[in-house]
């Protein structure tokens, strides 16, 4: 009976995909990892909509803004989707992160001694990662070079939306109440070899509020230097989906195939 039920779920998913081929289908995240029964598709409410998105250049009032003797060149590529509230969220976020680029008073005029001014560079690019039912993920990539610095810095911030409730999913939304310590332990256990090689003991590991839904599990992303050297880049630790039973709220897990152990 369980094998027939799993086959029926699979057949239903295939038929649903075929019906959506005429639409702009987003990138789907799939996985062959086991999932808890609480995360199977029939136990969750589905979002009946598809995200379409493209990254486009953004015109800035002050693409080069100056403050005192320092100037910064700004370059922004925003996201344009078929969901106005998502577009508004990112435009508001961009204006909050780089206010000088939107201040006409900071705009550079012709400078007689421009060669004497230190010019830094900041770029922001927002990209669409994919959608799984009511969950949609975007990434906001920042790169910054401060004039005179040995090297630039960068950061990738993942933004996950609940499309049904029209809100961003925060870390506290993701976790079952009181489960944080268990999640940290599970995350350490799943990545113990790498963490041990980097002299990180269980007591030092904290959950990052920067995460996305990967093919194998929830990926927690850590800033440069927090867990590893600059040369190693941003650290990504994967919490496999089969380890999240009773730790992550079912409504904030992607729809995954259900498998019976043999």
Helix (H, G, I), strand (E, B) or coil at 136: strand
The average pLDDT across 236-249 equals 95
The pLDDT score that the predictor gives to residue 119 is: 87
Give the residue from 77, 92, 79, 76 showing the smallest Cα distance to 26: 79
Residue 197 in this model has a pLDDT that exceeds 60: yes
Q: Give domain limits for the chain.
A: 2-252
Q: Model-level pTM? A: 0.77
Which of 70-84, 140-154, 218-232, 239-253 is predicted least confidently?
A: 140-154
Give the integer Cα–Cα distance in Å for 226 and 203: 15
The pLDDT score that the predictor gives to residue 114 is: 55
The average pLDDT across 108-122 equals 67
Fold entry, domain 2-252: Heat Shock Protein 90 (3.30.565)
């Amino acid at each position: 009976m369980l094998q027939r039920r799993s086959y029926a779920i699979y057949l239903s998913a295939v038929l649903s995909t075929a019906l959506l081929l005429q639409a702009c289908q987003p990138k789907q995240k799939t996985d062959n990892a086991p999932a808890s029964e609480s995360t199977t598709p029939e136990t969750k409410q589905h979002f009946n909509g598809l995200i379409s998105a493209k990254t486009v250049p953004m015109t800035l009032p002050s693409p080069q803004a100056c403050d005192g003797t320092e100037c910064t060149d700004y370059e922004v590529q925003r996201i344009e989707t078929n969901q106005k509230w998502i577009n508004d969220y990112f435009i508001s976020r961009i204006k909050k992160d780089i206010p000088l680029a939107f201040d006409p008073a900071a705009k550079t005029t012709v400078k007689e001694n421009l060669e004497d001014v230190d010019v830094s560079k900041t770029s922001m690019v927002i990209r669409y990662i994919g959608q799984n039912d009511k969950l949609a993920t975007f990434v906001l990539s920042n790169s910054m070079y401060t004039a005179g610095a040995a090297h630039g810095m960068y950061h990738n911030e993942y933004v996950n939306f609940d499309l049904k409730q029209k809100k961003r999913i925060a870390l506290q939304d993701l976790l079952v109440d009181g489960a944080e310590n268990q999640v940290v332990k599970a995350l350490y256990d799943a990545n113990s070899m790498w963490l041990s090689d980097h002299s990180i003991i269980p007591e030092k590991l904290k959950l990052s509020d920067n995460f996305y839904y990967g093919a194998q599990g929830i990926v927690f992303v850590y800033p440069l230097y927090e867990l590893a050297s600059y040369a190693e880049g941003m650290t990504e630790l994967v919490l496999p989906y089969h380890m999240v039973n009773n730790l992550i709220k079912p409504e904030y897990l992607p729809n995954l195939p259900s498998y019976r152990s043999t």
